[in-house]
Every structure is written in structure tokens, then in C-alpha cells.
A = this chain, B = another copy of it.
Amino acid sequence: MNKQQILTKRPVGLPDATTWDLQEKPIPQISDGEVLIKIHYISLDPAMRGWMNDVKSYIEPVQVGDVMRAGTVGEVIESKNDKLPKGTFCSGWGGVQQYVVTNGKGWYSVDPKLAPLPMYIGTLGMPGMTAYFGLLEVGQPKAGETVVVSGAAGAVGSIVGQIAKIKGCKVIGIAGGKDKCDYLINELGFDAAIDYKEGNLNTELKQKCPNGVDVYFDNVGGVILDAVLTKINMKARIVICGAISQYNNTTAIKGPSNYLSLLVNRAKMEGMVVLDYASKYGEAAVEMAGWLQTGKLKSKEHVVDGIENFYDAFLKLFSGDKLGKLVLKVLD
């Protein structure tokens, strides 16, 4: 049997325990050209919250009654497709379930000997690619510049900061709690970290960015975006990657009150969606894998076990009760 988390309704605000229903269905038969994949790990991402809203966005919303959408990595256990023979490990949109049948479109093979499987849905997967292309192509940091990243201990933010260090920037991470801030400085090599829960964001930003902010990679929106806007330099680049502080709002999203700092500083704020860079994932993964091997880049996964624990794990995305990339292990 195939355990699946089915979307039962469109949540308002933070999803509750009845937003998904764990159901068991028979494992489907495969037809010619298809493969059956046994999923090992499921990627949990803040973006999943947006996929549940019935609005026009960069991707179709998940329909009520469908398996919850998620990136996954697993193994082909039956194959009628020469490109993905039995025994192949691969990554793709498998959804929050134990097994998936696919014709292989959008899936790509991965090598579990080169990196642990969860890393293929983390640093070498969508979050890593988001960090890589968002920072380098949209943020365009130059050596010596000051780069600030929010959600800095998360799957995307932790990679953004490390790549900025590799590129010779001064890097300040904003995260929630002392443990995360210590982790950024002591393990990932950030120059400084700001614990936004301490409540003196403006003072800390001023102290830790004495030369102002050249690139701000924003994962959170809200008051943190507004605070950083008061510290940007001339021609600063703000990468809008996400706004996790606003995803569960039941009222209007808080727009950046200080957006006229863009005018004063001739700065820009630009949105990015990782899917646009799909044709270049390969070369980015090669470069990132090199950095991982030489220890310039560190990857951390926070693994929660069991598909039945999907809801509890999902909440950790918003409570912040995790470090690094959150993945759900579903292999028994």
C-alpha cells in the first residue's frame, strides 16, 4: 500500500491538523514508458504554503483531493522506461507519499555515492539552486561588499551566506535564536549574525553593517525587510526570494513601508523563482559539489521520520524549530 498526505481543504492562516488526511491507496501498476519510484526523502519547504492557495502564481495550486506537492528523492523499483532503469536513484516532484509512478518527465538521476540522498533535495536540490542563482544572478555580489541574508539558518539562507563568503563578501545572517546565530558564525563562517528575536534589529544592523548593505537576500519579508531597507547602500540589490513571515497571514501582507529607500539609493528589489534556471542546474550542482568536497560549503539536514509526521514536521518550517534543510524520511 501507498501512504499519501492528501490536501483536504484550503487553509486560512497556519494549516491545522485537518488540512491533510493520511490515506492508503494501492501501489499503482506501471505502463510502458513509466517507472515506479519508492520515495526515500521528501523536501519540506516554506513555498508549500503558497502552493495551497487558489491564486495565480508561478506554479499551479495543489488541488483539494490531490496528493500534497513536494520535491522528493527515491529509487526506481520497477521500470518500463530505458532512461530510468530499476535501481536508479532520482529526484523529482514525487509528492508527500511513499510511492509514485511517473513517465520520468522532470525527474533526474542522482548518485547516492557522491552525496547523501537528502542533500539532493537540499543543498544540491531546489533550495541550493535558489541560493546559488538568487544570490549570483540577481544579487550579483562583488568581493568586499556587505551581504545580508534573512532566514539565514534555513535551507536557502545558509547556502546564500556561504556562497557570499566564497565570493569574498562580508556576510551577516539574520536568524531566530542564539543557537542558530552561533551556528552561522562558528560552523558556517558568517562574519556576524543577528538574532531578530532579541528585538533590537535596527541597532544590530547598524553595528554589524558599518559600511551599509549592498545585497540583501530576503526570505522573510515583514519588519526585517523594512529594517534592512533603512541600511542599504547606493545601487543596492534586494533579492525577493520569499516572505515566510507573511505566508500564514489572515490579513493583508505587510508591504515594505521603507520602499522609498529604493529611490533615495537608486536601488532595486527583484523577485526570483528558481524554476527559471532549470537549464543551468547541472553546472551549478557541479560547482556546489566541488565546494562541498573541499569543505568550503557545509550542508545540514534536519530529518523527521515517518510520513505520518508530515504535519508536525511542516509546522517546524514556520515555528523555526529546526536547523538547515527540513526533510521527511519516509523509507521504512
Which residues of A approach B to under 8 Å, CB–CB? Answer: 56-58, 221, 226, 240-243, 246, 252-273, 276
Contact of A266 with B276 in the complex, beta carbons under 8 Å:
yes
State A57–B260 Cα separation when bound (angstroms): 10
State A271–B57 Cα separation when bound (angstroms): 25
> Which B-chain residue is minimally distant from A230 (CB atoms)?
B56
Instruction: Kindly list chain B residues whose C-beta atoms are within 8 Å of the C-beta of A56.
Output: 264
State A10–B252 Cα separation when bound (angstroms): 33
Contact of A260 with B273 in the complex, beta carbons under 8 Å:
no
Instruction: Kindly list chain B residues whose C-beta atoms are within 8 Å of the C-beta of A252.
Output: 257
Instruction: Kindly list chain B residues whose C-beta atoms are within 8 Å of the C-beta of A254.
Output: 255, 257
Contact of A267 with B270 in the complex, beta carbons under 8 Å:
yes
Apart from A252-B257, A253-B260, A264-B273: 13 A-B pairs, beta carbons within 8 A: A57-B264, A58-B263, A58-B265, A240-B259, A240-B262, A241-B263, A246-B260, A255-B259, A263-B272, A265-B271, A266-B270, A268-B270, A269-B270
Distance between A231 CB and nearest chain B CB, rounded to angstroms? 11
Distance between A62 CB and nearest chain B CB, rounded to angstroms? 16
24 contacts between A and B (CB under 8 A): A58-B263, A58-B264, A240-B260, A240-B262, A240-B263, A242-B263, A243-B260, A243-B263, A252-B257, A253-B260, A254-B255, A255-B255, A255-B256, A256-B259, A259-B259, A260-B271, A262-B271, A263-B273, A264-B271, A266-B270, A266-B276, A267-B270, A267-B271, A268-B269
State A240–B260 Cα separation when bound (angstroms): 8
Instruction: Kindly list chain B residues whose C-beta atoms are within 8 Å of the C-beta of A267.
Output: 270-271
Distance between A251 CB and nearest chain B CB, rounded to angstroms? 10
Asked if A268 meets B266 with Cβ closer than 8 Å, knowing A254-B255, A260-B243, the reply is no
Distance between A313 CB and nearest chain B CB, rounded to angstroms? 25
Instruction: Kindly list chain B residues whose C-beta atoms are within 8 Å of the C-beta of A241.
Output: 263
Which of A58, A263, A266, A272: most chain B CB closer than 10 A?
A263
